[in-house]
Amino acid sequence: MVATISFFMSVQSKEDILKESWKKLARWAFIIQAFAVFATFGSLYYALYNHYFEYKYVWRNSSRDLPVSYLLSSFWADQEGSFLLWSIWHSVLGLILLRVGKKWEAPVMATVSLAQVFLSSMLIGIYILGYRVGSNPFLLLRLAEENQGLPWVANANYLDFIKDGNGLNLSLQNYWMVIHPPVLFLGFASTILPFAYALAGVWTREYKEWIKPALPWALFSAMILGTGIMMGAAWAYESLTFGGYWAWDPVENASLVPWLTLVAGIHTLLAFRSSGDSLRITFFFFFITFMLILYSTFLTRSGVLGDTSVHSFTDLGMSGQLLVYMGVFVIPSFVLLFMRWKELPRSPREESTYTREFWLFIGSMILMISAIQITFTTSIPVWNKILNGLHLKGLFGLKQDIAPPSDNAFHFNQIQIWVAIVLGMLTAISQYLKYKSTPKGFFMKKIAVPTVISLVITGLIGIFGNMTYDAYGAGMQVAVYIMLFSSVYAIVANGAYIIIGQKGKIRAAGASVAHVGFGMILLGILVSSAKKEVISIDRMRMLDGGFFGSESKENARENLMLPKNFPVQMGDYHVTYAGDSLAEGDAKTYYLVRYERRNPENGNITEKFTLHPDAFLSNKGQQQLTPNPDSRHYLTKDIFTYITAVPIKDEKSDTAQYTTHTVAPGDSVFFANGYMILEGIEPQPQNRNYVAQPNDLAVGARLKVFTKNNEQYNMMPIYAIRDSKYDVTVADTVSPLSLYVKFSKILPTEKKIQLQVKESDTFKDYIVMKAFIFPYINVLWLGILVMVVGFVMSIVQRVKANKAKAKTIQS
């Protein structure tokens, strides 16, 4: 608070001596609070590391068996820790600004310091006029109000009852959760800088001067926030059972929307810097970006998304506090912008459609439309609360709450695919347009070659790539081909611009490199989604009949049951569940799933590998399954596998017995789930469990099995006489039916044989798993890296340009 007031007074003071005095006080105040924040971080981590379970936060989010590598995950697993992480990044950014802010230090740091006041209030945990302000991460367990169900904490020796902590949420015990949250929260924290610079420009009436120092920070914020979001996508891909990297989850959406508006603001800022257009909309975009960051925080931490998102926190009673935080920043900034709207510089000329700034503006508006659609649907729980709280349902003719989309992916994809198409096109052509004016002939000449090349590449991919995405009708299929061209166009046109427009000067081509990366991201999303293939198809309908339960979202037909050591065909592979294993100190169970691909002509193995999808089988004694996928990575595809069900460990033992049947060729044997027919005797039998010896006399019973569901299986139990001395019987099984058959005796005088049949009443060892093929998924990941590199190049270029100009002015 001292830093906020002092920086504010420094801006408002008219005399230079007072300005410097207030600024010096503000600097020391901010430095002191920064070190206090770091000390708080160190104290909480120390408590977690040493398992001080007398603290509620430590007891709730960690345990003694938690690996040290995941202690950081437990630090930001809950609200208090994540707010502290946010405050740490504000402190780091503020300390940097104290060094580089120069004339903008005071007005920008006044905003940053005020944000620190509110973030600190989220952690202070005291009562003011009967209202609890924040939640203290150092609250003792025995003082926690919610511990009504833990009567032992009232005992003086309650620490003797605490043998271990509650443990970290199972889905957070992954290395991505060590690196993803810090990067994402740095992205959240950094959005305050373009907001603070824009607000400082309006506040001080220096409407143009703030742009130059703000641009590198805006680029940095967009780069870090985008990287954090895509790290979350990688976490979802590797650790969650979304069946991919993006599920349009509300919390994912809440993070994406501010990035869209921030990128829009960067492009309009570039347009103003070069042509004098779009300043007003730039202020709006930077203001709305920070507002959306605060709004996404409210959505995530108020508990309002508890029924619609796998990410959201429970409500700690800070919903009102979050709304105040949002209001304090949003309302004054927009009021001040509105009051000075007419003072803002505006270009007197009309924009031509053959100018870069015009299409930068159009692209920014498209990004805004995308943000509006995503925000509106994501906020459905909020709309329902507002309508119910204000009793407005009747006014809008609603008899019940607004329902979220039944098919979430289609709801967003049917709009966002067209947004992606337009953005891809604009990314391709805008580089070839000049600011202020572009001769038509010049533009057409430059863009012609990239356009033709893109059309040819699109045609080749369409013909040979078999791009099909007709699950939602022909309209979506058409959109897929248009988006294919749009993404290829963005890559080719920007790659060509580096050669044509930048004349191969790669250091000055940061924007083009970022646009190439963006095009690759669009192409990777399109191809991996349109050609994504589920290969774990339950063709035998083993899981029909409500195996997953009525509330499960799993499609039983897309899950395959694998009995142990029984190869099952899955796509081009034969897949075998070979067992499970436990690692010391690791709560996960690892499942060994072996893939084999054979040459259909000679049966030779052409490829084999083992995947190790894992799962937490229980948490504190409660039966549950929390799986983590495993993937086989190729240059052109990924095979993505995860466990969806395993047998309960305390199942009853198998008590089924073999029954003997005497049959001749053509006779039938009935069992509970169908019947089998003895088709004949095979003199050269083949059975995966039988290895012939030199002196064996072996025959097999060729059986055809028919089930009640009209499924058919082949069996070949074997009877052999070895070395003319003793009998050998090799049973055959149909594991999906838990059916076992032995060929036990030959009755030559009767021309019959004896079969022993057992139909087990339980499965003892199996897994149910789901597997996808994601083709060309690496195009997406590589595109992210290329886009980040482009952002870095642009930041370096802007910083160097600012320094060079400053030196010129000084000289």
608 beta partners? 596
Q: What percentage of residues in the chain have a pLDDT greater than 70?
A: 89
Rounded Cα–Cα distance for residues 215 and 197 (Å):
9
**pLDDT confidence of residue 622:** 40
Of these ranges, 80-94, 459-473, 640-654, the one predicted with the greatest mean pLDDT is: 80-94
Query: Looking at the predicted structure, is the pLDDT value of residue 310 above 60?
Result: no
DSSP H or E stretch at residue 630: strand 630-633
Rounded Cα–Cα distance for residues 114 and 8 (Å):
10
**pLDDT confidence of residue 651:** 45
Q: What b-and-e string marks burial along 42-75, b requiring 16 or more CB atoms within 10 Å of the CB?
A: eebeebbeebbbebbbbbbbbbeebeeebbbbbb
Cα–chain center distance at 534 = 19
Rounded Cα–Cα distance for residues 557 and 644 (Å):
12
**pLDDT confidence of residue 688:** 73
**pLDDT confidence of residue 621:** 40
pTM of the model: 0.82
425 compared with 644, residue with greater pLDDT: 425
Dihedral (C-alpha) 670, 676, 679, 680: value to the nearest 10 degrees? -70
**pLDDT confidence of residue 674:** 81
Q: Are 509 and 756 in contact (CB under 8 A)?
A: no
Query: Looking at the predicted structure, is the pLDDT value of residue 605 above 80?
Result: yes
Give the residue from 447, 287, 271 showing the smallest Cα distance to 361.
Answer: 271
**pLDDT confidence of residue 32:** 97
Q: Are 84 and 73 in contact (CB under 8 A)?
A: no
- pLDDT digit string, tens, across residues 729-786: 888 888 767 788 999 999 988 889 999 998 875 556 788 989 988 888 999 999 999 9
pLDDT-derived band at 462 (thresholds 50, 70, 90) equals confident
| 92 phi/psi in degrees, rounded to 5 | -60, -50
Q: What b-and-e string marks burial along 670-689, b requiring 16 or more CB atoms within 10 Å of the CB?
A: ebebbebbbeebeeebebee
Give the residue from 632, 586, 635 showing the smallest Cα distance to 613.
Answer: 632
pLDDT-derived band at 582 (thresholds 50, 70, 90) equals confident
**pLDDT confidence of residue 687:** 80
- pLDDT digit string, tens, across residues 89-128: 999 999 999 999 889 999 999 999 999 999 999 999 888 8
654 compared with 167, residue with greater pLDDT: 167
Structure tokens at 322: 């979050």
Q: Are 299 and 305 in contact (CB under 8 A)?
A: yes
**pLDDT confidence of residue 363:** 93
- pLDDT digit string, tens, across residues 138-186: 988 888 765 545 666 777 787 877 888 888 877 777 777 888 899 999 9
Query: Looking at the predicted structure, is the pLDDT value of residue 611 above 50?
Result: yes
Q: Are 249 and 311 in contact (CB under 8 A)?
A: yes
pLDDT-derived band at 241 (thresholds 50, 70, 90) equals low
**pLDDT confidence of residue 469:** 61
State the sign of the Cα–Cα–Cα–Cα dihedral 97, 98, 102, 107. Answer: positive
Rounded Cα–Cα distance for residues 400 and 388 (Å):
10
Mean pLDDT of 708-713: 77
- pLDDT digit string, tens, across residues 516-543: 999 999 999 988 887 888 888 887 666 7
Q: Which amino acid, 56? A: K
Average pLDDT along the chain: 85
**DSSP code per residue over 350-378:** PPPTTSHHHHHHHHHHHHHHHHHHHHHHH
Query: Looking at the predicted structure, is the pLDDT value of residue 132 above 90?
Result: no
Rounded Cα–Cα distance for residues 124 and 35 (Å):
16
Q: Are 615 and 646 in contact (CB under 8 A)?
A: yes
- pLDDT digit string, tens, across residues 666-682: 998 888 778 899 999 99
**pLDDT confidence of residue 40:** 96
Query: Looking at the predicted structure, is the pLDDT value of residue 75 above 70?
Result: yes
Q: Are 628 and 656 in contact (CB under 8 A)?
A: no
Query: Looking at the predicted structure, is the pLDDT value of residue 799 above 60?
Result: yes
Give the residue from 697, 669, 689 showing the smallest Cα distance to 730.
Answer: 689
Query: Looking at the predicted structure, is the pLDDT value of residue 581 above 90?
Result: no
Looking at 12-16, 165-169, 510-514, 674-678, which range is the least confident one?
A: 165-169
Query: Looking at the predicted structure, is the pLDDT value of residue 309 above 60?
Result: no
Rounded Cα–Cα distance for residues 214 and 511 (Å):
17
For 22, residues 6+ apart whose C-beta sits below 8 A from its C-beta are 6, 7, 9, 10, 13, 106
Q: How many CB atoms within 10 Å of residue 698? A: 20
Alpha helices in 101-210 (DSSP H): 105-124, 176-190, 192-204
Rounded Cα–Cα distance for residues 65 and 55 (Å):
18
pLDDT-derived band at 793 (thresholds 50, 70, 90) equals very high
